[in-house]
Chain A
Amino acid sequence: MKILLIEDDDALIALLTRSLSSQHHIVDVVKDGEMGWTYASTFDYDTIVLDIMLPKLDGISLCKKLRGAGYTTPILLLTSQYNTTIKVQGLDAGADDYVVKPFDIAELTARVRALLRRGSTNPLPLLSWGDLMLNPISCEVNYNGQALTLTTKEYDLLELFLRDSYRVFSNDEIIDRLWSSDDFPAEATVRSHLRRLRHKLQSAGAPHDFIGTIHGRGYYLTSSQNSPQSLISSNDNSQPIHSHQQQTEYLAFLQETWVQTKPQCLEILSKIAAIVDQLLLETCTYPEQQQAHQKAHKLVGTLGVFSLTSAMNIARQMERLLNRSILLSPTESLTLQTYLSELFRDIEVNSPSQKIDSPHPGLSLLLLIDIDQNSIQSLTDIADNHGYRTISLSTIEAADRYLFSNSNPNLPALILVNLRESSSILGFLHNVHLRLYDQAILVLSDRDELIDRLAVVRHGGKFLCTANLTTEQIFTTAVSLIPLITTTPKVMVVDDDLDWLRTVPKLLQPWGLKITTLADPQQFWNVLQSVQPDALVLDIQMPEINGLELCQVLRSDPNWQRLPILFLSVSKDSISQQEAFNVGADDYLCKPMMGGELAQRIRHRLARLQFS
């Protein structure tokens, strides 16, 4: 549990911090009443331990101020005057309890525990859930009588869940509650503590889903008697299911609206950037920093509503950093600057595109193959911080199966593979290059040999020697290969077959293409000008204007001469094909056609264009 200690006596601070920490509490310490107000009104605490005699603002006035502003955190007053008036004043000011100095430390910690119980849904001194028992006094945990040895953070997590046992805790909330306000742990850190806690619980005989996950929402205690349906918080209801058509229409609407919203977001970002520049020059005032915080906060909401998750995550990191009670140092401001440039890039290249109900919305995927365990963990943590997610596969064969035997794989933005056995790797590279064309693939090796570099490049990969590189550096190099391919190419499909037009977006979107369909060739020029596609798929036979004519129109316009044009037709005869190539087609395909193959042919043309 998280406690704010407001006390100016260093000896007492040392003693209280030590004993409260030994009880698994996270303690923030401030030494005067004004700082006390700033911390208590900014961060989230489970209890405040407050001395009465304090510089700047005394404890009783602070207590009144907090209660007056609506803060309900339990307050324990420390007083050296054993006099009834002071006690009455303190309790009237809204304190929940008091202890008189000199006090017995055991009594103080017991009173803190009692206050914590008041704010909890679990009013008993022993916390339990099913067969799990946690004793906050001795800090012992057991499952069905079997003792569990937990690290501090694992214990803290469990206590947090048990104290509010019907709640779903999001990653952010867990960070707010269990880490000191000076720490900014990555969400992956929370996940790895949870993973280990779950593992220990399971080893002691608890069901594997003792701590459940609601994707995108958070974690909660599950139990057969306490099904998730009984959860009470308004945010915890499982998501209703919407029809595919509703989702698609909603997504299309988000995309449209985003076009107008994007410039506004970029403008807000520029305003934050101006304040960050001042922070770097140390000419910024605290109210300006607060303004930047509010803007970042707004941005988190907007990006989130437009389901731009990776951008939202970066904005959230920025918001968290800006939400300080003191001015940021130039070093911290440098971090902000990095977030800003990532955010500019992210907003520039991404648009609302993922399926709304996807469990990991919007995150670009890195596929890690045969990377050693330690590096996987640190790469995953770094990737997570930067808004990427990872899938780790231990062998080339597994990667082969994932990419090629799976009918609809989630294609990675980048593949990272370790060069161990060169023969199987080269075969894999060749295969990837042949079948996925422009798939970025980075081969890592701790040896630096020209012959390795050559072999990798010849097979379509990129080579990075990892000797003397930190994981962060490896990650930075790796993602620098991504920008060209994470932009979602826009493909316009013109066809008078309405059934085909309805299915084609569904077929091609999983392959990272953004589709605009058009049934009426009369509207062709207007739609083309507004969509500005990166590639065009044309039917040949259409009423009034046929595809060949449209192709000729495009090829005679200097702006569209290089646009990749693919014909897709039911006619398989060689005369039609010949005609198509004569008028400037880049490719000719016959219906019926699978989504994957069509997507690959389109991407192939785009890749050619990039390298030409």
Chain B
Amino acid sequence: MKNKRLLTIDDEESIQIVIKFGIHMVAGWEVLSASDGRMGIDTAKRELPDAILLDVMMPEMDGIATFKELQANHITAGIPVIFLTAKAQTAEKKQFNDLGVSGVITKPFNSLDLPERISKILNW
């Protein structure tokens, strides 16, 4: 696997830590973190990661609002976004799909699997 840089946006620090550890251990990718949507958008603009893992349910600015803002900005519009969610009902998945997200990964996941799953979703 080629070296990649990811950005995770999740308000739960422990999940960020676990994701970062798993991905780094298996694939050696660099993982940047942001703990809310606003900070995530700023980091994305500044760092231009190869992909963004975005938690759907966050306080204040949720994943969908964050995604829409990322899409609306020409700097970040091209970065593929994968949603992380605890339980995606079919309607939600359809909704995500219609929004134009690249994929959805449902919690629980084993972080060791993430590089492979992300690569498959994004055809890396």
A447 to chain B, nearest CB (A): 45
* Contact assessment for B113 and A72 in the assembled complex, using a CB-CB cutoff below 8 Å: no
Given A246-B25, A264-B14, A300-B87, decide whether A305 and B108 contact each other with a Cβ distance below 8 A.
Answer: yes
Contact with A along B98-124 (1 / 0, CB 8 A): 110001111111111100110011000
Residue from B12, B110, B111 in contact with A298 in the complex, judged by beta carbons closer than 8 Å: B12
* Contact assessment for B112 and A356 in the assembled complex, using a CB-CB cutoff below 8 Å: yes
* Contact assessment for B89 and A44 in the assembled complex, using a CB-CB cutoff below 8 Å: yes
CA A305 – CA B103 in complex, angstroms?
18
CA A172 – CA B116 in complex, angstroms?
24
Q: Which residues of B contact A173 (CB under 8 A)?
A: 89-90
B12 to chain A, nearest CB (A): 6
Q: Which residues of B contact A304 (CB under 8 A)?
A: 86, 107-109
CA A247 – CA B84 in complex, angstroms?
22
Residue of B nearest to A262 (CB): B14
CA A45 – CA B94 in complex, angstroms?
12
CA A304 – CA B113 in complex, angstroms?
14
CA A319 – CA B12 in complex, angstroms?
18
* Contact assessment for B106 and A235 in the assembled complex, using a CB-CB cutoff below 8 Å: yes
- B18 touches A (CB below 8 Å): yes
CA A43 – CA B92 in complex, angstroms?
9
- A569 touches B (CB below 8 Å): no
B46 to chain A, nearest CB (A): 27
* Contact assessment for A72 and B112 in the assembled complex, using a CB-CB cutoff below 8 Å: no
Residue of B nearest to A300 (CB): B86
Task: Please indicate which of the listed interface residues A250, A301, A312, A319 has the most CB atoms of chain B within 10 Å of its own CB.
Answer: A301
CA A115 – CA B120 in complex, angstroms?
32
Q: Which residues of A contact B105 (CB under 8 A)?
A: 234-235
Q: Which residues of A contact B108 (CB under 8 A)?
A: 301, 303-305, 307, 309, 312
Contact with B along A85-104 (1 / 0, CB 8 A): 00000000000000000000
CA A73 – CA B98 in complex, angstroms?
12
* Contact assessment for A250 and B104 in the assembled complex, using a CB-CB cutoff below 8 Å: no
Q: Which residues of A contact B87 (CB under 8 A)?
A: 172, 297, 300, 316, 319
Q: Which residues of A contact B85 (CB under 8 A)?
A: 301
CA A553 – CA B50 in complex, angstroms?
55
* Contact assessment for B26 and A70 in the assembled complex, using a CB-CB cutoff below 8 Å: no
- A486 touches B (CB below 8 Å): no
Q: Which residues of B contact A71 (CB under 8 A)?
A: 91, 94-95
CA A306 – CA B18 in complex, angstroms?
8
The interface size of chain A toward B, counting residues with CB under 8 Å, comes to 44
CA A260 – CA B18 in complex, angstroms?
12
* Contact assessment for A305 and B15 in the assembled complex, using a CB-CB cutoff below 8 Å: yes
- B75 touches A (CB below 8 Å): no
Residue from A44, A235, A298, A319 in contact with B104 in the complex, judged by beta carbons closer than 8 Å: A235
B94 to chain A, nearest CB (A): 5
* Contact assessment for B98 and A72 in the assembled complex, using a CB-CB cutoff below 8 Å: yes
- A294 touches B (CB below 8 Å): yes
CA A246 – CA B107 in complex, angstroms?
20
- A240 touches B (CB below 8 Å): yes
- B21 touches A (CB below 8 Å): yes
A185 to chain B, nearest CB (A): 16
- B32 touches A (CB below 8 Å): no
Given A247-B112, A254-B18, A305-B111, decide whether A176 and B120 contact each other with a Cβ distance below 8 A.
Answer: no
* Contact assessment for B104 and A234 in the assembled complex, using a CB-CB cutoff below 8 Å: yes
* Contact assessment for B113 and A240 in the assembled complex, using a CB-CB cutoff below 8 Å: yes
CA A599 – CA B95 in complex, angstroms?
52
* Contact assessment for A234 and B103 in the assembled complex, using a CB-CB cutoff below 8 Å: yes
- A404 touches B (CB below 8 Å): no
Q: Which residues of A contact B103 (CB under 8 A)?
A: 234
- B39 touches A (CB below 8 Å): no
Given A301-B15, A316-B87, decide whether A239 and B110 contact each other with a Cβ distance below 8 A.
Answer: yes
Given A234-B105, A246-B25, decide whether A239 and B86 contact each other with a Cβ distance below 8 A.
Answer: no
B117 to chain A, nearest CB (A): 6
Q: Which residues of B contact A72 (CB under 8 A)?
A: 94-95, 98
- A525 touches B (CB below 8 Å): no
* Contact assessment for A298 and B116 in the assembled complex, using a CB-CB cutoff below 8 Å: no
13 of the cross-chain contacts (CB-CB < 8 Å) are A70-B95, A173-B89, A176-B90, A234-B121, A237-B120, A240-B112, A240-B116, A242-B112, A253-B21, A257-B14, A260-B14, A301-B85, A302-B14
Residues of A bordering B, CB below 8 Å: 43-45, 70-73, 172-173, 176-177, 234-235, 237, 239-240, 242, 246-247, 249-250, 253-254, 257-258, 260-261, 264, 294, 297-298, 300-307, 309, 312, 316, 319, 356
Inter-chain pairs besides A176-B89, A304-B86, 8 sampled, C-beta below 8 Å: A72-B98, A237-B117, A297-B86, A300-B86, A301-B12, A305-B14, A305-B109, A356-B112
